[in-house]
Amino acid sequence: MSANETPPRAPADFEKVAIGAQATVATFKEETPSLLKRIQHLLHVHPTAIPALVLVLSVAVFAMAGGQRFLTAFNLSVVLQQVTIIAVIGIAQTIVVLTAGIDLSVGAIAVLASMVMGKLAVTAGVPTPLAILIGVAVGAACGAVNGILVTRFRLPPFIVTLGTWYMVFALNLWYSDSETIRSQDIGETAPLLQFFATAIPIGDARLTYGSIAMVIAIALFWYLLSMTAWGRHVHAVGDDPEAARLAGIRVERVLMSVYIVAGIVCAFAAWMMISRYGSASPQSGQTSNLDSITAVVIGGTSLFGGRGSIVGTLLGALIVGVFRNGLALSGVNVLWQDFAVGALIIVAVALDQWLRRVSQ
Amino acid sequence: MSTPVPQVPVSQAPILEARGLVKRYGRVTALDHADFDLMPGEILAVIGDNGAGKSSLIKALTGAIRPDHGTILFDGQPVSFDSPIDARRIGIETVYQNLALSPALSIADNLFLGREPRVAGPLGTLLGMLDRPRMRREARAALSSLGLMTIQNIDQPVETLSGGQRQGVAIARAAAFGSRVVIMDEPTAALGVKESRKVLELILDVRAKGLPIVLISHNMPHVFEVADRIHIHRLGRRHAVVDPRAITMSDAVAIMTGAMAPPGEARAA
C-alpha cells in the first residue's frame, strides 16, 4: 500500500509535498532498541518475571545466610503454610485492584465470615456444611454492598471499602460478642472447619490441604482472568472504563461481579483461617488487609488497574513469607522484617511506574 | 491501490436515514428537526461549525443519546437505540475519537473486546474458555484485509503501537464483524500528515469492501479528498448536501458558516 500510486482524488495542494514521502506509517516495524529498552519491553510483556526473579534470589540469599535451617523441606513447607491465607485473600485483592480499585475490607470480611461459620456450627448447632455455605453467603453479601456503593453511588472504592472495613469489623465484634470460639470445641463439633489443616507428610515437609487448596485457587483464577471473556473485561474495565463501555462491555456489571467474587473468596479464606489457627477469633486477621495489598503490589499488579497477574500475587505473598521467615531464622530483630517488606513495596511500585512508561 | 469511485444510483434507498431529529438540553436546541441520509457504499462527510449539532447528530445515530423527537431508519425500518451496544448489534460501528481501545490488552483482545468467541464444546459453554486461535486468526485476517498486516505480533499490547497504528486497529475493528455502516469521528485529528494519509487510504479501503462510511471531520482537504457527498450541518439541522466535485472548499466553508446560501439543488428538504 502506498499513497503515490494514482490516489482516487488528488490530495490538497499543500500536501503535495507529502506524496513523495514515505507513506508506510503502519508497518509496525521496530528499530533496534537499546538493551535497557529491551529489558523494559520484556518485563512489560512478562510482568511476573520480576517477582519470580526476586523470589529465587531471596531464597538463594537466605539459603546462604540462614544456612541449614532455612533450606529444608520442612521449613519451606512452613513458609507455604504461612502465606496461604494472605495469598488467597490476595486473589480477592488482585481482581479488585485490576479494575483500578482497592478493597480495604477483605480482612474484615474474612474475619466476619469465619465467626459466622464458627458460631453457627459450634454454638448454634447448624450442620457444618450449611454453616460454611452461610459464611460464604455473608462474604458475598459484604462484597455486594461494596459493589453497589462503587457502581450505583459512584463512590471511590478506597472510601467505600474503608467504610465497610469499620462497619464489617464492628458487626463481627457484635455478632461474636468479642469471644473466641475455642479450637477444642471446633474440633469436637465441627471438625470440617479444620479440614484444611490436614497435612500430607512428604519426607520432612508437611503439605497441608490448605496449601494445596491455595494452589488450586490460584490456578482457577489464573484461568478465569486470562482465558475467559470475564477476565478480559476485568482488565479492560481497569485499563480504561470509558473505552470498555464504548466497546460494549457492561462496566457496572463487571465491577459488581468483581466485588461479589472478592467477598466469596474472602469467605473461603475464612474457612482456611479457622483451619490454620484451629480457633475462630474475632481479633484474627487484623493485618490481612494491608498484607494482601502488599502481596498484590510486590507481585507486580499495578494499582492503576488493567495490568497484573494472579500468579504474581502468589509470588508476592511467597516473597514476603520468605523474607519474614528467612530474617527470623537469621536471628534478625523482627522490626527489620517490616522494614524489608516496606522497602520491597516501594521498589515494586517504582518498577511498575517505569514499566508503564513503555508506551510513551 | 486505486479504488473505483462507486456511482451511487439516485434511485437507491438510503441504508441509514434520520427524519426530523430534535434534541434539547434545557434551553439549548442541539438538534432542530435534523435530517440525514447515508447511501449504500458511499463516504458521506459531515461538516459543520462548532456547536452546529454535528456531534449530537452522530450520538443519536450511534445510540449514545436518545433524540426527543424524530425517527431513525435503518434499511428502511424504524429503529431506536438505548445504548451504543444496540446500534452495534444491527451493524452500526463507530470509531470514536478516543478510539475506545484498551491499551494494556493485545491487538487481538481489543478487536474482540465485548464479543469474544468461545471454544466449541463444554470447555466453551461451561467454562467460558476463549477461542484464542480463532481470535488470532480472525484478527490477522481483519488487519490484512485492510493492508495492515505487517504487524509482527498480534499479541502485542495496543499501548506499544503508534497513534496511526492504533487508529488502524480501531478502524479494522469497526470494519470487521459483519458491520453494515462505519461511523468515524475525526479519525485524522490527532495524527500527523503521513499518518493521516495512511488513515485516508484505510477509509477508502473500507469503502472498497462495500461498507458505507460517515466521516465527521474538521479537515476540509481530507473531506474533499475522500467524500462522495458532503452533509453540511448548521444551526442544528441539515443545511445542505453538496457534491465535493462541484464545489470549492471555500464555498463549502462559506455555506457552513452561513456566509453563503447553498446552491439551489443542494438545499436540504
Looking at chain B, the whole-number percentage of residues with pLDDT higher than 70 is 92
Task: Give percent of chain A above pLDDT 70.
Answer: 89
Give the confidence band of A168 by pLDDT, cuts at 50, 70, 90.
very high
Question: Do A83 and A317 touch, CB atoms closer than 8 A?
Answer: yes
* A233 pLDDT above the threshold of 80: yes
Q: What is the pLDDT of residue B266?
A: 59
Average pLDDT, chain B: 86
The pLDDT, as a whole number, for residue A41 is 74
**In this predicted model, which residue has the larger pLDDT, B59 or A21?**
B59
Res. B179: pLDDT tops 90: no
Q: Residue A12 has what pLDDT?
A: 56
| Pairing of β B16-25 and β B69-74 | antiparallel
User: Is the entire prediction scored with pTM above 0.90?
Assistant: no
Which residues in chain A have Cβ-Cβ distances shorter than 8 Å to B114?
233, 244, 247-249
Q: What is the CATH number of the domain that holds A117?
A: 1.10.3470
- C-alpha cell at position B131: 477461542
Segment B189-225, tens digit of pLDDT? 878 888 888 889 989 989 998 899 999 998 999 999 9
Residue A14 is predicted with a pLDDT of 60
Q: How many domains does chain A have?
A: 1
Residues A307 and A296: their CA atoms lie apart, in Å, by 11
Inside any domain, residue A149: yes
For the segment B33-45, the average pLDDT, to the nearest whole number, is 94
Kindly determine whether residue B113 and residue A246, on different chains, have CB atoms separated by under 8 Å. Answer: no
Residue A168 falls inside a structural domain: yes
Asked if the model's pLDDT at residue A215 lies above 60, the reply is yes
pLDDT of residue A181: 92
Cβ contact, residue pair B198, A239, below 8 Å: no
Q: What is the pLDDT of residue B3?
A: 45
List of residues 6+ apart from B45 with CB closer than 8 A: B215, B216, B217, B223, B226, B227, B229, B230, B231, B244
Element (H, E) at A229: helix A229-239
- In this prediction, residues A17-31 reach a mean pLDDT of 51
In a domain, A4, yes or no: no
B141: pLDDT strictly greater than 50: yes
Q: pLDDT tens for residues A11-22?
A: 555 655 555 555
Reference A262, options A93, A101, A75; nearest CA is A93
Residues of A in contact with B224 (CB under 8 A): 9, 12
- B168 with A26: Cβ contact below 8 A: yes
Question: According to the 3-state scheme, what is the secondary structure of A35-79?
Answer: HHHHHHHHHHHCCCHHHHHHHHHHHHHHHHHHHHHCCCHHHHHHH
**ipTM value:** 0.80
Q: Contacts from B118-126 at CB under 8 Å and sequence distance 24+?
A: B118/A229
Residue A128 lies in domain:
46-355
Instruction: Indicate the pLDDT class of residue A31, thresholds 50, 70 and 90.
Output: low
Please give the pLDDT value at position B212.
95
Is residue A9 in some structural domain?
A: no
Question: Does residue A3 belong to any structural domain of this protein?
Answer: no
pLDDT score recorded for residue A18: 54
Could you tell me the pLDDT band of residue A5, with boundaries at 50, 70 and 90?
Answer: very low
Q: What is the pLDDT averaged over residues B88-105? A: 88
Calculated CA dihedral for residues A342, A347, A352, A355, nearest 10 degrees:
180
pLDDT greater than 90 at residue A120: yes
Q: Looking at residues A116-137, what average pLDDT do you find?
A: 95
Residue range B151-166: mean pLDDT, rounded: 82
**Span A83-109, average pLDDT:** 96
Asked whether the beta carbons of A303 and A297 are under 8 A apart, the reply is: yes
User: Rounded CA gap, A152 and A256, in Å?
Assistant: 10
Write the residue in B105, B164, B225 that is nearest to A232 by C-beta: B105
Mean pLDDT of chain A: 87
User: Are the Cβ atoms of A25 and B157 closer than 8 angstroms?
Assistant: no
Residues B141, A50: Cα–Cα separation, whole Å: 35
> Is A227 part of a structural domain of the chain?
yes
Q: Which residues of chain B have a CB within 8 Å of the CB of A219?
A: none
**Pick from A47, A39, A100: which is nearest to A312 by CA?**
A47
Q: In the predicted model, is pLDDT for residue A68 greater than 70?
A: yes
User: pLDDT tens digits, residue range B227-269?
Assistant: 999 999 999 999 999 999 999 999 999 999 888 888 765 555 4
Chain B residues touching residue A43 (CB < 8 angstroms): none
Mean pLDDT of A275-303: 90
Tell me the average pLDDT across A243-263.
93
Taking the C-alpha atoms of residue B208 and residue A50, their distance in angstroms, rounded to an integer, is 47
Mean pLDDT across the stretch B73-102?
A: 88
The larger pLDDT score, comparing residue A19 to residue A115, is at A115
Q: How many residues does chain A have?
A: 360
Nearest to A27 among B101, B150, B226 (CB): B150
- Across the interface, of A29, A230, A242, the residue whose CB is closest to B128 is A230
Tell me which residue in B1, B96, B194 faces A25 most closely, judged by beta carbons. Answer: B194
Q: Are A243 and B98 inside 8 Å of each other by CB? A: yes
pLDDT at A19: 54
The residue ranking higher by pLDDT, A29 or A122, is: A122
- Least confident among A16-20, A64-68, A235-239: A16-20
- B82, pLDDT greater than 90: no
Question: Is the pLDDT confidence value at B6 over 50?
Answer: no
Q: Does residue A5 sit within a domain?
A: no
Partners of B237 in the β-ladder: B234
Domain assignment of residue A72, yes or no? yes
User: Cβ contact (<8 Å) for B88 and A236?
Assistant: no
